[in-house]
Amino acid sequence: MTSCKRVAAWTVIGLTTAALLVAGSVIYFGWYDISATRPHTAAVNQLIETTLARSVSVRAKSIRVPDLNDPADIRDGFGLFRAHCVQCHGAPGVAPEPYALGLNPAPASLVESAHERSAGEVFWLIRQGIKMTGMPAWQYRLTDGQIWDVVAFMRVLPTLSPTDYRQWDERSPQPTPQAIPLDAPRIGNAMAGRQALQQYMCVTCHVIPDVVGASSHVGPSLAGIAIRPYIAGVLSNTPENMRRWLMAPTTIKPGTAMPDLGISEQDARDIAAFLKTLSAPD
């Protein structure tokens, strides 16, 4: 190596070490303010926005958009929007609920998103949700058809004045909340179950081996659940009983602290299949 190259190599190593030290100090000494009452710095905000824009655009590119002009679909989309979205995003002349005002990042006005984003991107964002914001994933609560209905309504949204929106509200009957309609459930799939349990707060109450963030002791650890003879001390541990437990713990054991989480039959089968793989005790 020539001395010139050696100097360059040491400079790169020195600069990298310095950058890592600064980043480490920011984290270790708690310099970055993560409170929702303080905005991100401009640089962090730019980084997050660009990451979001690129992530969505790459993933939504190949989505095929169906016909979004059917008035019946648009009306169904309005019902779903009113039931699930207006609380956080507001609508023409309608403010979000007080808790949504405290979110950081603040939920965007969807009038603007409908203008700026393609239908495929909006579909992807609603279906998948956005990490580290308050935006939920709707994939486990709405069918793809229902999500497209919401997208269809969102395309009409920018054309509605506050008076128009109020009229839609008055004319549409309140929807009765209904469980996600299912095709005939297929046999449980452990991989799908592992993903589904992120969507039902299991990680906030249980230690679950190999699941990142599942380290809470509100309920018993699920390590070794596959080889335990009983579920919650009351049911013999079969896949069918596990499905029943997950779908309605409070019916099976009144007074239990594990809540009914509205798990669909398919998701319960998948999660039961995943739990069947947890045979190693702690």
Q: Which residues bind ligand HEC (CB under 6 A)?
A: 84-85, 87-89, 100, 103, 105, 107-108, 110, 113, 117, 122, 125-126, 130, 133-136, 138, 150, 197, 200-202, 204-206, 218-220, 222, 225, 228, 231-233, 246, 253, 256-259, 261, 263, 271, 275
Nearer to ligand HEC, 16 or 192 (CB): 192
Nearer to ligand HEC, 24 or 259 (CB): 259
Nearest distance in Å: CB 93, ligand HEC: 18
Nearest distance in Å: CB 234, ligand HEC: 8
Nearer to ligand HEC, 60 or 258 (CB): 258
Nearer to ligand HEC, 57 or 87 (CB): 87
Nearest distance in Å: CB 166, ligand HEC: 19
Nearer to ligand HEC, 30 or 98 (CB): 98
Nearest distance in Å: CB 142, ligand HEC: 7
Nearer to ligand HEC, 93 or 281 (CB): 281
Nearest distance in Å: CB 17, ligand HEC: 36
Count the neighbouring beta carbons within 10 Å of the beta carbon of residue 153: 25
Nearest distance in Å: CB 231, ligand HEC: 5
Cβ–Cβ < 8 Å for 243, 257: no
Class of residue 219 by CB neighbours under 10 A (exposed 0-12, middle 13-18, buried 19+):
middle
Nearer to ligand HEC, 113 or 189 (CB): 113
Nearest distance in Å: CB 72, ligand HEC: 18
Cβ–Cβ < 8 Å for 215, 198: no
